[in-house]
Structure 1
């Protein structure tokens, strides 16, 4: 009988050792998976940061190109005629002013898109530049162009500016800086 008990004990010890080995293997596998997941998470964060930086670089390059094209059109009335898409005929002088108004607005738009200003700050700057009657004329003259863009952040901001301009034109006060409710960052 003593032999049988030793055999069962031996088997029990072997099973326990196998169980401990299996648990150790599972723990080692889990640690390796955790390390792999952490490496993937760090790599993904790096890629997201790189993509974000690349997006800002692309926006900055686009803004530079936009300004170069507008500058050429402002300096050369013949080139400016290519950009004359206004709803009413405008003089060469007015066209140059509209092109500059476009540059001012687009600069604010790009500044907002790369995160240099908040939506509230964008709203405040727009409220300021719309104190100029030429900028207001430009905005009205380009209404059809803005209507062609939809379902975008730019279209949403354009609608916000349309509403602000309507409020500014209806206001009976000289304190333009209090007209309109800033939209809050979204």
Structure 2
């Protein structure tokens, strides 16, 4: 029985050591956010880059789509995205800051994946289904980001930013619903 207790104690100590060595805190960069204001501003820069990149990417998605309803949905969202860029510039201005973009690695990855889907599918319903899947991943990222930014704006009492962010959040949700409807009703079953 003593051997079992010793073995258990040894396993516990080994597990604790491996957990400790793999969960050390990462050192912060010298320009790291120090408070919620900094994090809010950094996050705005991130989504500003993301929206501007999306303005460039949506025309390629539209050109490669074959379903007319999908093309119309992408075109509509392109207009909304251009408005989102302008709204973010308005938020920066209201905060007394220059609108600045900071590369968003998450959006870059999603856009890269969207390009891969286009290259790896034949034109037609299969590619259209892939475009919708890629677009919805982008929408979900934007929904999460705008929801988080709205929560930050509320805490920071940035009422003008909050109003703008909530308006954009609702548009992103509606776009996601539209894409879901297109996929369910028009495309996924035809892509089989």
Length-normalised TM-score, structure 2: 0.25
> Relative contact order (alpha carbons < 8 A, sep ≥ 6): 1 or 2 greater?
2
Length-normalised TM-score, structure 1: 0.26
